[in-house]
Structure 1
């Protein structure tokens, strides 16, 4: 166990990391066929984040050395700035949104994710969680666009800058993309893909399809 995975004199291979990530996630799913399958319980947001989203998302992005992954209701810097624009220096600052996952490069945020317990059609909470995610994505995009220095010639490229987010409810997840169309002054958000985490060994192929979507996001 103490032997290095990387032979002496060789550099780290991203492809090897991603292959190991796939195997780790598959092994994690195989444990759910135990006599007491924890996926069949009504689990909390914290359980879903710890046992599903952390292996699925966090471990995939470990090879992106500039990205810091912030978890556990991290407060968004972008929303702090937006909520305090009209406040004087001496005024008490408003706190920003707290969100389950945020990706940062230095002090700029590029990604957010919100988790809730289920996708019950009679439950209004998923709607509020998705609205919170979309609001966060817009704050992140606004802050990023303000940081960039556009000229009259390059400003048309604003619509090529896209922010991403994930809404994960129970066993189902949706990835979203957002951009700003400067020509008409509208923000557009669309669903880029859906994935599902199965609850038995027989549904592992369905679960592994989510890995392709996360790699595409990466």
Structure 2
């Protein structure tokens, strides 16, 4: 691989990391509170609001069920409104974020619901407020599962970031399509695939280690 191709690959990798990092941060910032609310707002729960729970749940399900490539195209006007363009790395962050936060919300909801209800009742008996129960009981107890869920989210985002390259999103996907496919350069396509595999493996390994660190059972053995 020539020096020029190497620098193209390096630049595309940085673009991908930028897209994934920013969309993951924004997606978690929106999805985490939403997921906690969905897990604690059914009838008789800490923040009981069953009607709002059903409405938000329907919105989350609708976004999650929309294929990503269709979502990218469908929200082009919204992307242009926010960024002034529908192509490029910055514009790609919008659909990536919209695809991420419903996924995060459902993962965190599932993790919170796995916590032993007896712990909630014990906290209530000791006079803890709903917010204290969430912050001091539910989230700490669910932290290993949440960590694995967020790891899966980032891994999925890496795949989505490559897919968004098909519509001018930049990054490794765009590089693979423009050089590997359109210019018939299989070595570039292979390099893009290898980098994506390395990124996924690094994220998965880090997430697994963090989950084991947060797991009380593994630390007690």
What is the TM-score when the length of structure 2 is the normalising length? 0.32
What is the TM-score when the length of structure 1 is the normalising length? 0.32
Higher strand share: 1
Higher helix share: 2
